[in-house]
Structure 1
Amino acid sequence: MNAPTTIRTPYQRRVELVKETLLTSAALDDDSAGKLAVQVLHALDTIPEKIR
């Protein structure tokens, strides 16, 4: 029997990318890096497109 396929949204992929970056760059545990990744992406998403 095949395992169910999990489809990740683009947002979930971005969170995972930021989380992995934080884990390799800072002394954070997995949970803390995940929470910080969500906050970082939220901050980036609130910057107007013309400024980014």
Structure 2
Amino acid sequence: MASPTTFLTPYDLRVDLVKNTISTHSELDGEAAGALAVQILHTLNSMPEKMR
């Protein structure tokens, strides 16, 4: 029987990248780093393109 395949969206990959970076450079646990990563990406996505 085949195991289920997990599909990660580009957004999920970005969240994981930011989460891992936060975890590496701080003392936050995985859950807190994940919540912060989502907030950071939300802020970056809401900025106008000219400001990025």
TM-score of the superposed pair, with normalisation by structure 2: 0.93
Q: What SS class does the counterpart of residue 50 from structure 1 fall into?
A: helix
CA distance in 2, matches of 1:2, 1:22: 35
- After TM superposition, the runs of 4+ consecutive aligned structure 1 residues lying more than 3 A away are none
Higher helix share: 2
Aligned to 1:2: 2
Tell me how many residue pairs correspond in the alignment: 52
CA distance in 1, matches of 2:11, 2:5: 18
Measured against aligned partners, the alpha-carbon deviations of 1:1-26 in whole angstroms (never above 9, x if no partner) come to: 22111010111000000000000011
Residue identity (%): 56
Which runs of 5 or more structure 1 residues have no equivalent in the other structure? none
Q: Which amino acid aligns with 1:17?
A: L
Aligned to 1:40: 40
Q: Does 1:30 align with 2:27?
A: no
| RMSD (Å) for aligned C-alpha atoms | 0.7
